[in-house]
Chains A and B, each alone.
Chain A
Amino acid sequence: AQSVAQPEDQVNVAEGNPLTVKCTYSVSGNPYLFWYVQYPNRGLQFLLKYITGDNLVKGSYGFEAEFNKSQTSFHLKKPSALVSDSALYFCAVRADQAGTALIFGKGTTLSVSS
């Protein structure tokens, strides 16, 4: 069975500092990994995904994520946080089959202070 773990309920960083939101996964077969962001009372916005290729994936709004197969991790990073990055972040994994669902982590609230 597939699963995703986001070990931190909340991450607090100061504006301008680098941020990391952690994610580990468990999946049989090739992992397809995704990060989504949810702003208050809004839908989920796609940030980036890892399918294959380079372990460092770049996405929207200056975010990037590093796939580490040996550690089964896919941590989300940004070199310099903005207050506007404050939101709820979800890591998700998906199996390689049409119609399969995203399996989400519980979410991590990112709070960036000015």
Chain B
Amino acid sequence: DTAVSQTPKYLVTQMGNDKSIKCEQNLGHDTMYWYKQDSKKFLKIMFSYNNKELIINETVPNRFSPKSPDKAHLNLHINSLELGDSAVYFCASSQDVGSGRETQYFGPGTRLLVL
């Protein structure tokens, strides 16, 4: 059973398009995250949701909008895609219960290529 799953695994699209990446976790966790890994493998947080409430919203262009329909899902919608958006996007989840000591578990990643 996949703990944290993402769809699609690969996404190739043209500049200017709008696309969404979906994430689902079946771990019963209360917190979900989106991280971006750039071409140099740097990993950086984009957003986090705790019990469907937005907790972290890093300096990310407004073209990126997370949506959490329920605690098990956190989707990422990207408008007007740009070349610089090409990266690997990782979803993660954890059961925080009021602290930061819990492990975050990552999905397999979505490799986005904007042409």
Contacts and interface: CB of A to CB of B under 8 A. Distances in A.
B56 A43 contact: no
- Sorting the interface of chain A by its residue count into under 10, 10 to 19, 20 to 34 or 35 or more gives 20 to 34
B112 to A, nearest CB: 14
Contact of B55 (A44, A98, A102): A98
B45 A101 contact: yes
A99 B43 contact: no
A37 B64 CA distance: 27
A100 interface: yes
Contacts of B56: 99-101
Contacts of B92: 44, 102
A30 to B, nearest CB: 9
Contact of B90 (A43, A95, A100): A43
Given A98-B31, A106-B42, A107-B41, A44 B99 contact: no
Interface in B20-66: 30-31, 33, 35, 40-45, 48-50, 55-56, 58
Nearest to B41: A107
A90 interface: yes
Nearest to A97: B100
A101 B90 contact: no
Contacts of B97: 98
Contact of B109 (A43, A90, A100): A43
Contacts of A34: 103-104
Interface of B: 30-31, 33, 35, 40-45, 48-50, 55-56, 58, 90, 92, 96-101, 103-109, 111
Instruction: Report the 8 A-B pairs with minimum CB-CB distance, sorted nearest first.
Output: A99-B55, A101-B45, A98-B96, A99-B50, A104-B43, A44-B106, A43-B108, A96-B100
Interface of A: 32, 34, 36, 38, 41-46, 49, 51, 88, 90, 94-104, 106-107
Given A99-B56, A101-B35, A102-B43, 13 more contacts: A36-B106, A43-B107, A51-B101, A94-B100, A94-B104, A96-B101, A98-B30, A98-B50, A99-B49, A99-B55, A101-B33, A104-B44, A106-B40
